[in-house]
Amino acid sequence: LGKVTCFSVFACVSVRRIFMTFTRKERRKKKKEERICCSLHLHRPWLCFWILHSLELLEEPVPSAVASDVCQFLARCQSPTGGFAGGPGQHAHLAPTYAAVNALCIIGTEEAYNVINREKLLDFLWSVKQPDGSFVMHVGGEVDVRSAYCAASVASLTNVLTPKLFEDTTNWILRCQNWEGGLSGVPGLEAHGGYTFCGTAALVILGKEHMLDLKALLRWVVSRQMRFEGGFQGRCNKLVDGCYSFWQAGLLPLLHRALYKEGESALSRQRWMFEQQALQEYILLCCQNPTGGLLDKPGKSRDFYHTCYCLSGLSIAQHFGNMDLHHEMILGKEENRLAPTHPVYNICPEKVAQALQHFHRLPVPEDTRQQGTVEPEKQQDLRQK
């Protein structure tokens, strides 16, 4: 990977300016398209999360009236049986539940926190828990490691995580690590970037990441960064994709800290274990639409999903460390700097700490099936990650 040239530095146009232009245009188009657009009908909480997280990374404030509207909309997406659906009146599903909880934590107001019915959320999590420790995405739905991560993420953020709820989940996730070193969606399949992130982050939340083969996982993920493009592929022999800027690069902070806890002495105190500059070059030079928004690769269309995860990966590449040790590497102009993102939850660290503090003041909902709660020390550890 070559050094950045003067031309490429000047070509790093402001992601802040173009994204805000994109967002304003899309908001204006929204009402016109509501009647005919159905492709994202099942993903509406995701749209809230992708946009809100992109804005918080850009450090753009959300007007209080808009934030309140989002809270009211997500409240309509909450199922009477617990959890959140892809839209009002639909069945609860772990993926939009994750998106809705993250979006509400980004807003971070009392109104936002009060939307979440924690007692019903715990009931919903139990309804999708399987005897082998895995989770289905919805009642009667499919099993894969995404569901374990979504369940662990929302349970830990809202303080409904109990050892009984996640009994055998660690062992099930560990079975997803294959001979390549990465993790698959279910045991026995091909390693994949999104599944690897979900499985690893879930184990971090559960405090069991040390049980992975960390060296094999490290070898697999660093091999996914493309030598020429600088971005990441999702699987072996696949093309680069901007969204893996987070799903793959986001693994490196988790691995760095896991290896540090294992006593690895050769770890850098200034850089993650990937080419941070090369990833920034790929995102800034190859993944921006000139009129706003980010994308998979040149020639592809922009969308809020790729905008969110390209920006999330750019944030990971710009910031090393945590609140106690922080080092920045910003390519191009200072206005290219994004806010840090939490590598486990993918929302800003202060919003994670604020949510944990708020919900930890509340008791874990009573549940005859649970045999204890997560120790306060574990909650403090998550704030520091």
Q: Which residue has the tokens 């500059």?
A: 277
pLDDT at 7 over 50: no
Tell me, yes or no, if 302 is annotated catalytic: no
Tell me, yes or no, if 37 is annotated catalytic: no
Tell me the pTM.
Answer: 0.89
Confidence of residue 10 (pLDDT cuts 50, 70, 90): very low
Task: State the burial class of residue 328 (Cβ atoms within 10 Å of its Cβ: 0-12, 13-18, 19+).
Answer: exposed
Say what the pLDDT of residue 19 is.
54
Annotated catalytic residue within 129, 146, 192, 342: 192
d(CA 105, CA 97): 12
d(CA 128, CA 98): 14
Using CA atoms in the order 254, 255, 258, 259, what is the torsion angle rounded to 10 degrees?
-150
Tell me, yes or no, if 296 is annotated catalytic: yes
Annotated catalytic residue within 48, 198, 243, 287: 243
Say what the pLDDT of residue 22 is.
56
pLDDT digits 0-9 by tens, 317-335: 999 987 677 899 999 999 9
Tell me, yes or no, if 123 is annotated catalytic: no
Annotated catalytic residue within 241, 286, 287, 308: 241
d(CA 237, CA 228): 14
Say what the pLDDT of residue 257 is.
96
Domain residue limits, the chain:
7-361
Tell me phi and psi for residue 302, to 5 degrees.
-75, 155
Tell me, yes or no, if 146 is annotated catalytic: no
Annotated catalytic residue within 71, 175, 296, 348: 296
Tell me, yes or no, if 213 is annotated catalytic: no
The topology under which CATH files domain 7-361 is: Glycosyltransferase (1.50.10)
pLDDT digits 0-9 by tens, 76-117: 999 999 999 999 999 999 999 999 999 999 999 999 999 999
Maximum pairwise Cα distance, the chain? 63
d(CA 342, CA 62): 20
pLDDT at 21 over 60: no
Annotated catalytic residue within 93, 129, 235, 383: 235
**Side-chain-facing half-sphere of 360: CA atoms under 13 Å:** 17
Tell me, yes or no, if 69 is annotated catalytic: no
